[in-house]
Structure 1
Amino acid sequence: MTDPGNSDGVFSRGRLPLQLLQGSLAVEEATPDRLSMTLYKDRADKNKDGKEKATHSLEDFCGIESGLVVEGVSNVMAIICQQRVLLLAFESREKMLVWELKIRSTIGEAWRFPVVIPSGSKFPTGPAMLHFYSNYFCLTHGVPPKLLWCWQLQGIRRYGAIAGGFSFEAGSKCGKGSGLFYIHTEEADSLQMLFNCVASGVPPPRMDLRGSLSHHPSTGNVQLQVYVALL
């Protein structure tokens, strides 16, 4: 198991009182799409292998959305997984980006594309995000992000860039996610290139789709601020 970093901070579940905790985030080497987060009462407990306060195993990583403002709290990062969403809030944007870089550099390349779901779709209309990781992709909607659906690329019958957006058709085994979908996006050509590469087993070229992550501050000690919450 690889540990990309530790942090001191504050943890809260729902309406419980805030508690100062020491956090450790790790990626399991045998299953690179699985994140594990362990929280301790304080640094001393972690250093002496004390009993953890809470442990979250986040399987089937999909992507990250950062820079969110949730219930008046800024610098929030959402870790999107197929079964849950984990929210982490930091005391500064710089430290949030440090942690995003640590996670991405450890778990592997992931892409995200801002899209718009048009009216007539079986999913909520409006701005959304398409996340692509490994050989599957998902759509999220809203703040904090809600996972709408996740598709395996092998279940997609056809796909392609069309005027003003991107379209894909999912087979009947995709359940609620089956059918023909169209999304508005200015990144349709990049999406098609990514789909083509993954479908043919060719490593896709690195794409700068993460904005401010092209420059990263020093990866020193990171303070986790305000709360950690599961959605």
Structure 2
Amino acid sequence: MTSDLGFDTVLLRLGLSFAAALLLGWNREELGHPAGLRTLVLICLAACTAMLLANWLLAGSRGSGEGLMRLDLMRLAQGILAGIGFIGAGTILKQDNIVRGVTTAATVWLATVIGLCFGAGAWPLGTAATGLALVTLQGLRPVERVLRRRSYGAVTVVFDPALTSHAALLARLAETGFSVRSTTLEQEGARGELRCLGAYGAAMPDWPLGLLARLRAEAGVGRVVWEDMA
């Protein structure tokens, strides 16, 4: 870590942080995630600026002869990482048993660490982390698709309990090849609702359309909604 904070050094470190966050944010923005391009750039620049400030304060305190004052730079980094947890938590969405945004939250955390690296002048570490992050986010997507031999989804059926039942609809789902993992059953007066989370063959991308048509044709079924969890 160097305390030589000339104007060119400050611009270089901020520029590297900006470039790293731009690459990571571009990936998140293309996929429509909540923490996109501008969010990650601002987070990474904030972390870099905080680390530059720490170096600046450290340089200013040297030779001051003040034995009572001691700067602990690790406390600053720990505080930044703890604070960024609130932003990361805000990108995670949970609906029933479906959890989304965990990868985006991890990207936010990593962008913060990369900003700290560039702010501290650790060019090789920040550059290597950025490269590996891009490989993980973009390069491993095909590998992930190969490993996933099954796709997952949630189906919600609203029906008339006088014409059909939860048991009948569950039996119909089993006939279509939908492997139910969890179910939510609701019934209030003349309205019943069935929500199921499950899996189906990944080699059948049009399978959910057939499932919707088959359930919609059932007597008493008024509304059918499919949500892809892939």
Higher strand share: 1
TM bin, normalised by shorter chain, reads under 0.3
Query: TM-score by structure 2 length?
Result: 0.21
Query: TM-score by structure 1 length?
Result: 0.20
Larger Rg: 2
Higher helix share: 2
